[in-house]
Amino acid sequence: MDVKQAGSSLDSLISSFNTRIAELQELVIARNMYPASSVTDLKAVDAALKAMELQVQAIKDRLREETLAIPKAKKLIEASLRQQKKLQSMSVHVPERTTFSNSEINNRSILPEASNQLPGFGPLKPEEPVATHKEKKGRSSPPLWYITAAELDSLSSYMRGRLTLDKVNAAINDMAAYADSNSQLITAPKKKLAENLWEKALELRDIAMTESIKGKHFFLETDMKGPSMKLDNTGKAILTVLRHLGRISETRIGHHRVIILSKPQT
């Protein structure tokens, strides 16, 4: 190694020592700027920040739960509205109780005693109570307005198709049976109905209370399940014939197609 190379290596070593000394001096200055007592404060700040982060996360979780609960709350509201509607429908069919005034009650209690005190007269019978409201009449049986051979022959061959008089009149029997079954569901108390029939009974009661149906015999298109009347091409053809001959009329209430038994015009 020559003198130049030895001098260069020595200069590099000295420069390295100087750099290291400068770094140590900066570390000493930094230590004096941030004494050991400040470390505790930093720890407290860090703990506070972590606590705030936990609170923010808890708030986010709560908001997420509330957001997920909104659809459930909407379903509960809809269910309560449906239940309210059912209860209102049920209240319509609850008979009102006959009430008497205090004077009427007193007169009725005094009447037997006074009759016993009259000589020569037997005990007087109290008058029968007069109801303040007319009793509801039971629904009559659905009518059976059969068609005649002349009526069937009066139809065009296209409308009549392969229908026969017996087939059409058998369908009229079925329709009367459907209407009678629905009438029984409408008037039946809840305790006498199976659970799977209660929903249908409430729907039928709502339909029966509409202005276009009130007081009439009816059935739903979905009731057409035989034995003679079914919801097929033949059944639809029979409905067309009976509608044309004035035996039925049709209307739509909600999602139900309602068939009403009509009296033929003479």
Looking at residue 105, its pLDDT comes to 45
Q: What is the pLDDT of residue 152?
A: 93
Count of CB atoms situated within 10 Å of the CB of 210:
12
Tell me what the mean pLDDT of segment 216-241 comes to: 92
Average pLDDT, the chain: 76
3-class DSSP state for residue 219?
A: strand
138 CB contacts (<8 Å, ≥6 apart)? 187
Which of residues 153 and 62 earns the better pLDDT score?
A: 153
Using 50, 70 and 90 to split pLDDT, how confident is the model at 121?
Answer: very low
Which sign does the torsion angle of CA 78, 83, 89, 92 carry? negative
pLDDT at residue 240 tops 80: yes
Please give the pLDDT value at position 31. Answer: 62
3-59 per-position pLDDT tens digit: 556 566 667 777 777 787 887 777 777 666 655 555 556 666 667 667 776 777 777
Instruction: Match 């700040």 to its residue by tokens.
Output: 45
Mean pLDDT of 114-123: 45
* Per-range mean pLDDT, top range of 56-60, 76-80, 88-92, 199-203: 199-203
> In what helix (H) or strand (E) does residue 258 lie, and over which residues does it extend?
strand 256-261
- Asked whether 265 and 192 are in contact (CB, 8 A), the reply is no
Residue-wise pLDDT for 173-225, tens only, equals 999 999 999 999 999 888 888 888 888 999 999 999 999 899 899 999 999 98
